[in-house]
Structure 1
Amino acid sequence: MRARPTWAALAASLSLIAVTSAPTSAAQPEPVAPPEFVSLTDVDPSILLDIRYVTPHNFTGKPVDGYQTPTCILTRPAAEAVQRAQQQFVAQGYSLKIYDCYRPQRAVDSFVAWANDLSDRQMEAEFYPRVDKTRLFADGYIAEQSGHSRGSTVDLTLVSLPPRAEQAYVPGQPLVDCAAPVSERFPDNSLDMGTGYDCFDTLSHTLDPRVQGDQLKNRLLLKDGLEKQGLQNYENEWWHFTYKPEPFPDTYFDFPVDPASLVSPR
């Protein structure tokens, strides 16, 4: 004859059923941008985009976490300042071209993880041939927070109008030093600024004295035109500008780079 279960056994069985049948929590929704953020293309569709971190053509060698679409998202005051600068540059025969805008904190975290992985030197020959990877934090090339995550910083350059067709990057293709002569490095269709974008090198400092001639002239053309509209240059990167005053000077956002992150129609 089968023994009857004890009350203790019944209680344990019921407890197990309660645990295994409890509904699992749904995945947390992605954060969205405050209404002060806009897509730059909605503000000025004439501005060219070359959003590098959604592609593998960047110093990590792969698309970066948080970049879901090749979109430039900025706070509205920053976007409108870039628009005003674009109008002035177009009158001179140039267009702005954007490499990066708002950057999610998760992307910055992925940069930190990449910098700590000293075995990953896939893109060294192009982006940091003269800087040992162990020095990226100490030399200020990688940090745990970025002004880009506050939404008013933009990386950009100038392109002559009409823009030339730009060769696509093919993963695995031979890499060329980002500070090589313009005829040798990756064929970006922008004006020659002396280095490529995201070149981890002191030659990227906006006013490095070794940069002269047309390269210096082009840097100053970009810098002066943007600063007239309230976009201040970061002296160590000729491509990096921040609108002042920033609407969110102390907030580091983490919504994805995607038009769906913008909660209101723009």
Structure 2
Amino acid sequence: MFADIADYDKSIVLDIRYATTNNFTGKQVYPAARCLLRRDVAMRLLKVQEKLRGMGYRLIVFDCYRPLSVQKAFWAILPDERYVADPAEGSRHNRGAAVDVSLADSTGKPLAMPTEYDDFSEKASRSWKGSSAEAQGNAMLLETVMTAEGFIPFPSEWWHFDASGWEIYPVSDFPLEKTGGCGDD
């Protein structure tokens, strides 16, 4: 079962890039800016937001559930498993068990991070040390809070986190509707 994160916490900043043209495809891919996740994954993300709120921060969410049909389109553009999962296997996003996130201050203003979202270069990797101390510190804070709630950092993208246990969920391909459409598997 999927849950829409906005139904639980309106303070999470939804910057769902694939519902805009501000993404690596240059096209609007999703019809709506929604963050759907498996219910238990959503509950973990809410705990992250609660911890961050207590520290004076907020989560920014760039991507959550991604239909398999979209994964296929992304793979056609960028067939590189460091950044896009092979749709033949399905991604953790296709299972509703991965999130692309960043940090904002309490007003929702984005904090400095190592790169922009969807930067498909070595600078986006967790091992890159060439960004500012502020950006590195913010990325480390995000990683610390996410891993404390059972999210696993993805090595080549500072923003990507998989929920532990992601492999129990089947790949889904229902469309991201403007309302409803939370899938039933």
TM-score (norm 2): 0.90
Give, in whole Å, the separation in 1 of the partners of 2:103 and 2:160: 13
The answer as to whether partners of 2:75 and 2:86 remain within 8 angstroms in 1 is yes
Give deviations 1:29-72, integer Å, cap 9, x for gaps: xxxxxxx21101112222110111011111111111xx221110
* Unaligned runs of at least 5 residues, structure 2: none
**Secondary structure at 1:260 match in 2:** coil
1:50 matched to 2:15: yes
The answer as to whether partners of 2:98 and 2:160 remain within 8 angstroms in 1 is yes
**Secondary structure at 2:180 match in 1:** helix
Match of 1:199? Answer: 119
* Unaligned runs of at least 5 residues, structure 1: 1-35, 116-135, 165-189
**Secondary structure at 1:194 match in 2:** coil
Give deviations 1:3-34, integer Å, cap 9, x for gaps: xxxxxxxxxxxxxxxxxxxxxxxxxxxxxxxx
Quick one: percent identity of the two aligned structures? 34
Give, in whole Å, the separation in 2 of the partners of 1:262 and 1:149: 13
Give deviations 1:195-253, integer Å, cap 9, x for gaps: 0000011110023122351111011000000110111110110000111122734x211
Give, in whole Å, the separation in 1 of the partners of 2:75 and 2:165: 27
Letter in 2 for 1:210: G
Larger Rg: 1
Give deviations 1:74-122, integer Å, cap 9, x for gaps: 0011101110010110111100010000000011111123x2xxxxxxx
The number of equivalent residue pairs is 180
Match of 2:174 among 255, 258, 262: 255
Return the structure number with greater strand share. 2
1:1-266 equivalence runs, <5 A: 36-64=1-29, 67-113=30-76, 115=77, 136-138=78-80, 140-145=82-87, 146-164=91-109, 190-246=110-166, 248-249=168-169, 251-258=170-177, 259-262=179-182
Give deviations 1:120-172, integer Å, cap 9, x for gaps: xxxxxxxxxxxxxxxx43563334322200111000100011124xxxxxxxx
CA gap of 1:104–1:216, structure 2 versus 1, over 3 A, is same
